[in-house]
């Protein structure tokens, strides 16, 4: 196990069917350019149902979904019980400001896995099925009129490998100007 104060994996999850929540696992295997082995959202092209209807040949920028566990505490204070895998994420992190990362950031996870952050998750209405009113907490407009998305980040697999709870996460920022994350 890594230093508990350092960025690390809290939990991993996958599901072979298109269900909203994913069961947690002892490990997941990331496949280069494809996603999580055996997960319904894995593929080189889009796999999310709403996107399949519109752009079936588009590249899959949502191969691996990451969520920060710190959000769970915040949502609990607002009356919403959320746990690892409940929001459909594949990797739940601790100690990492996922939402503050620039596009193109690479995350080295465990011994060999590397993913590249592509953007913010744009969640769907199914979130309210987990807890009524949760969608409004995770996507809202702030005082400046900007849309705020808190439902984690999406990424693609650059280098495959096995990811387990307790694995360390090393952040590699992109060179050059940093682009803020947009919804993908």
> What is the DSSP track for 103-124?
TT-EEEETTTEEEEEEEE----
Mean pLDDT lowest among 6-15, 19-28, 119-128, 132-141: 119-128
For the chain, the distance separating the N- and C-terminal CA atoms, rounded to the nearest angstrom, is 32
Supply the mean pLDDT for the chain. Answer: 92
For residue 169, name the pLDDT band (cuts at 50, 70, 90).
very high
Given a contact cutoff of 8 angstroms between Cβ atoms, the answer to whether 91 and 24 are in contact is: no
**Statement: residue 1 has pLDDT above 50:** no
Name the pTM for this structure: 0.93
Mean pLDDT of 104-128: 93
Check residue 49 and give its pLDDT. 66
- Tens of pLDDT, residues 5-62: 689 999 999 999 988 899 999 999 999 999 999 999 999 998 876 666 777 788 999 9
Q: Which residue has the tokens 């609990």?
A: 76
Widest pairwise Cα distance in the chain: 44
Q: Which residue has the tokens 């997941």?
A: 28
| Fold type of domain 8-172 | M1 Pyruvate Kinase; Domain 3 (2.40.33)
For residue 85, name the pLDDT band (cuts at 50, 70, 90).
very high
Check residue 127 and give its pLDDT. 83
DSSP annotation of 67 reads E
Check residue 129 and give its pLDDT. 82
Mean pLDDT of 148-158: 96
Check residue 3 and give its pLDDT. 61
Alpha carbon distances (Å) from 108 to 28, 117, 167: 15, 11, 10
Q: What is the CA radius of gyration of the chain?
A: 15
Check residue 69 and give its pLDDT. 97
């Amino acid at each position: 196990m890594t230093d508990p104060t350092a960025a690390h994996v809290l939990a991993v999850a996958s599901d072979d069917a298109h269900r909203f929540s994913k069961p947690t696992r002892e490990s997941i295997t990331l496949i280069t350019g494809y996603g999580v082995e055996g997960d319904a959202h894995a593929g080189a092209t889009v796999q999310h149902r709403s996107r399949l209807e519109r752009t079936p040949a588009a590249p899959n920028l949502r191969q691996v979904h990451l969520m920060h566990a710190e959000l769970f505490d915040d949502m609990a204070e607002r009356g919403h019980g959320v746990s690892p895998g409940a929001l459909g994420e594949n990797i739940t992190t601790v100690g990492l400001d996922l939402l503050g990362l620039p596009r193109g950031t690479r995350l080295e996870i465990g011994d060999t896995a590397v993913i590249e952050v592509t953007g913010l998750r744009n969640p769907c209405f199914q979130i309210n099925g987990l807890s009524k009113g949760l969608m409004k907490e995770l996507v809202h407009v702030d005082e400046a009129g900007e849309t705020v998305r808190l439902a984690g980040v999406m990424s693609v697999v650059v280098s495959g490998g096995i990811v387990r709870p307790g694995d360390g996460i090393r952040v590699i920022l992109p060179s050059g100007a940093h682009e803020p994350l947009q919804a993908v």
